[in-house]
Amino acid sequence: MKYLVFSDIHGNVEALRTVLDEIDALRPDLVACLGDVVGYGGSPAECVELVDSRADITVCGNHDYVAAGLGDGDDFNATARIAIEWTRSVLTADHKELIGAYDSLRRHGDCIFAHGSPVDPLAWEYIFTMKDARRALLGTSERIVCVGHTHIPGVISWREDAGARIERSSIIEIEPDRRYLINVGSVGQPRDGISAASFALIDARKGLINMRRIPYDVGSAQERIRENGLPESLASRLALAR
Ligand code: ZN
């Protein structure tokens, strides 16, 4: 079983198309999207439609939740709020219905999929620290826990008797007595200083986790943000990846 897992597209269809091309080449058995399909970027409708046609599993992100009208986004900063209001104005009722149907949590085989911490998915908790990671691992039982939300990719492994360890390689061999927390990073708005779209490929048969980056046309994505009158900072941050 080969899983391709991506997250946080944020209305960036240029980045999403690049990842989808890679999916065509890699031919995974299951494609999972960990949410925040919309918000910030200039092409939310296209992203909702593409994710709907290509992902086998999609879980809800905090921006999706507000875009679908399920939440009010009162915890969003000013820029995020401007972007989500614009997003809501350009999405049709059909798009909102698709988004509103995303699950908060999904399981498949040895994997569990959530946007933020799977312990309380609609609380949208970020997993930044080792303590956060431990809590997420202890609160679940699946061998592989896949999350997004922070826009920063990374893998932490856990062994009952030895505790947590940060995995620093981009190709990680799955050890039989360890569990893995994988933050797949962000397709459409990475924040780790690398502008390339981020995703993870998990090959359960070969026992490998492959953390992948793939460059896309950042300039076109920035243009789309500017031509829709969204805040300039949303365009400039794509190149800075902050
Ligand atoms: Zn996000």
- Domains of the chain with bracketed CATH: 2-240 (3.60.21.10)
Q: What is the pLDDT of residue 56?
A: 98
- Going from the Cα of 123 to the center of ligand 1, the distance in angstroms, rounded, reads 14
Query: What are the Cα distances from residue 5, in Å, to 28, 97, 211, 220?
Result: 10, 23, 10, 24
- Going from the Cα of 42 to the center of ligand 1, the distance in angstroms, rounded, reads 15
- pLDDT exceeding 90 applies to what percent of the chain? 99
- Going from the Cα of 36 to the center of ligand 1, the distance in angstroms, rounded, reads 5
User: Is 90 exceeded by the pLDDT of residue 106?
Assistant: yes
Mean pLDDT, rounded, for 201-207: 96
Compute CA 14 distance to the chain's CA centroid, rounded to the nearest angstrom.
15
User: Is 90 exceeded by the pLDDT of residue 47?
Assistant: yes
- Going from the Cα of 179 to the center of ligand 1, the distance in angstroms, rounded, reads 24
- Going from the Cα of 177 to the center of ligand 1, the distance in angstroms, rounded, reads 31
- Going from the Cα of 2 to the center of ligand 1, the distance in angstroms, rounded, reads 24
Surface-to-core class of residue 175, CB atoms within 10 Å of its CB (0-12 exposed, 13-18 middle, 19+ buried)? exposed
Residue-wise pLDDT tens digits, 130-166? 999 999 999 999 999 999 999 999 999 999 898 899 9
Mean pLDDT, rounded, for 201-221: 97
Q: What is the pLDDT of residue 199?
A: 98
Q: Which residues contact 140 (CB under 8 A, 6 or more apart)?
A: 112, 118, 119
Taking the CA atoms of residue 147, residue 93, residue 19 and residue 36 in that order, the dihedral angle to the nearest 10 degrees is -20
- Going from the Cα of 25 to the center of ligand 1, the distance in angstroms, rounded, reads 26
**Exposure of 177 in the CB half-sphere (CA atoms within 13 A):** 5
3-state secondary structure the chain: CEEEEECCCCCCHHHHHHHHHHHHHHCCCEEEECCCCCCCCCCHHHHHHHHHHHCCEEECCHHHHHHCCCCCCCCCCHHHHHHHHHHHHHCCHHHHHHHHCCECCEEECCEEECCCCCCCHHHCCCCCCHHHHHHHHHCCCCCEEEECCCCCCEEEEEECCCEEEEECCCEEECCCCCEEEEECCCCCCCCCCCCCEEEEEEECCCCEEEEEEECCCHHHHHHHHHHCCCCHHHHHHHHHCC
- Going from the Cα of 192 to the center of ligand 1, the distance in angstroms, rounded, reads 13
Q: Which residue has 């296209």 as its token pair?
A: 46
Mean pLDDT, rounded, for 42-55: 98
Q: What is the pLDDT of residue 163?
A: 87
- Going from the Cα of 61 to the center of ligand 1, the distance in angstroms, rounded, reads 7
User: Is 90 exceeded by the pLDDT of residue 185?
Assistant: yes
- Going from the Cα of 176 to the center of ligand 1, the distance in angstroms, rounded, reads 31
Mean pLDDT, rounded, for 217-234: 98
- Going from the Cα of 186 to the center of ligand 1, the distance in angstroms, rounded, reads 7
- Going from the Cα of 219 to the center of ligand 1, the distance in angstroms, rounded, reads 20
Mean pLDDT, rounded, for 171-198: 97
